Chain A
Amino acid sequence: MSAPSMSKTGSKVLSRIALALLYIFLYVPIIVVIVMSFNSGRSVLRWEGFSLDWYVKAFSPGPLMSGLQVTLIVALASTAIAVVLGTMLAIGVHRYARGPLARSLATLPAFIPDILLGIGILSMFGLAKAAIGLHSVILAHASFEIAIVAAVLLARLGSMEKSLEEASTNLGASGTTTFMRVVLPQLAPAIVAGAALGFTLSLDEFLMAFFTTSTNSQTLPIQIYSMVRFGVTPEVNALAAVMFVVSLGAVLLAQRIVMPLMFRRKP
Chain B
Amino acid sequence: MSTPLLTIRGLQAYYGTTHALKDIDLDIEAGGMFAILGPSGSGKSTLLRVIAGFEQAAEGTLELDGKDLLSLPANKREVGLMFQSYALFPHMSVAKNIAYGLEAEKLSRGEIKTRVAEAIDMIGLGHLADRRPAQLSGGQRQRVALARSIVKRPKLLLLDEPLSALDRQLRAGMQSELKRLQRETGMTFVIVTHDQEEAMSLADSVALLRDGQIEQLGTPAELYEQPNSRFCAEFIGSSTIVEGKVVPEGVQLTGFGALPLSVPADSQTGDTVLAVIRPEQVRLTEDAGAGGSQLFGTFEGASYLGGAADAEVRVADAVLTVRCAAMPRVAHGVKVGLTLDTADIRVIAA
**Interface residues in chain A, defined as those with a beta carbon under 8 Å from any beta carbon in chain B:** 161, 163-164, 166-174, 177, 181-182, 185-186, 267
User: In the complex, are the beta carbons of A182 and B133 less than 8 A apart?
Assistant: no
**Listed residue (A168, A171, A186, A267) with the most chain B CB atoms within 10 angstroms of its CB:** A171
B100, closest chain A residue (CB): A171
A-facing residues in B72-106 (Cβ within 8 Å) = 74-76, 79-81, 83, 85, 87-91, 100-101, 104-105
User: In the complex, are the beta carbons of B100 and A173 less than 8 A apart?
Assistant: yes
Q: Which of B90, B134, B152 contacts A171 (CB 8 A)?
A: B152
User: In the complex, are the beta carbons of A163 and B83 less than 8 A apart?
Assistant: yes
User: In the complex, are the beta carbons of A166 and B87 less than 8 A apart?
Assistant: yes
User: In the complex, are the beta carbons of A171 and B101 less than 8 A apart?
Assistant: yes
User: In the complex, are the beta carbons of A170 and B80 less than 8 A apart?
Assistant: yes
B98, closest chain A residue (CB): A171
B74 CB, nearest partner CB in chain A, Å: 5
A-facing residues in B116-161 (Cβ within 8 Å) = 133-134, 148-149, 152
A164, closest chain B residue (CB): B87
User: In the complex, are the beta carbons of A168 and B100 less than 8 A apart?
Assistant: yes
Q: Which of B79, B83, B134 contacts A167 (CB 8 A)?
A: B83
Known contacts A161-B87, A173-B100: does B81 contact A167 (CB below 8 Å)? yes
Q: How many A-B residue contacts, CB cutoff 8 Å? A: 59
Interchain CA distance A210-B104 in the complex, whole Å: 51
For A167, the chain B residues whose CB sits under 8 A away are 81, 83, 87-89
Name 14 A/B residue pairs within 8 A (Cβ), A-sorted: A164-B89, A166-B52, A166-B54, A170-B75, A171-B100, A171-B104, A171-B148, A172-B76, A173-B104, A177-B104, A181-B100, A185-B91, A186-B91, A267-B90
A170, closest chain B residue (CB): B81
- Report how many residues on chain B are interfacial, defined by Cβ distance under 8 Å: 25
User: In the complex, are the beta carbons of A163 and B101 less than 8 A apart?
Assistant: no
Interchain CA distance A141-B74 in the complex, whole Å: 41
A266 CB, nearest partner CB in chain B, Å: 9
Interchain CA distance A185-B100 in the complex, whole Å: 14
Known contacts A185-B91, A186-B91: does B74 contact A169 (CB below 8 Å)? yes
For B83, the chain A residues whose CB sits under 8 A away are 163, 166-167
For B76, the chain A residues whose CB sits under 8 A away are 172
Known contacts A161-B85, A167-B83, A267-B133: does B75 contact A174 (CB below 8 Å)? yes
For A166, the chain B residues whose CB sits under 8 A away are 52, 54, 74, 81, 83, 87
Interchain CA distance A185-B88 in the complex, whole Å: 13
B338 CB, nearest partner CB in chain A, Å: 50
For B101, the chain A residues whose CB sits under 8 A away are 171-173
For A185, the chain B residues whose CB sits under 8 A away are 91
For A174, the chain B residues whose CB sits under 8 A away are 75, 104
A161 CB, nearest partner CB in chain B, Å: 6
B94 CB, nearest partner CB in chain A, Å: 14
Smallest CB-CB A-B distances: 3 pairs = A171-B101, A167-B87, A172-B104
A189 CB, nearest partner CB in chain B, Å: 10
A165, closest chain B residue (CB): B87
User: In the complex, are the beta carbons of A170 and B74 less than 8 A apart?
Assistant: yes
User: In the complex, are the beta carbons of A172 and B87 less than 8 A apart?
Assistant: no
A-facing residues in B189-208 (Cβ within 8 Å) = none
Interchain CA distance A177-B105 in the complex, whole Å: 12
**Listed residue (A167, A169, A182) with the most chain B CB atoms within 10 angstroms of its CB:** A167
A157 CB, nearest partner CB in chain B, Å: 15
A264 CB, nearest partner CB in chain B, Å: 10
Interchain CA distance A170-B73 in the complex, whole Å: 10
For A169, the chain B residues whose CB sits under 8 A away are 53-54, 74-75
Known contacts A170-B52, A173-B104, A177-B104: does B75 contact A267 (CB below 8 Å)? no
Interchain CA distance A167-B79 in the complex, whole Å: 12
- Contact bitstring B150-184, A, C-beta under 8 A = 1, else 0: 00100000000000000000000000000000000
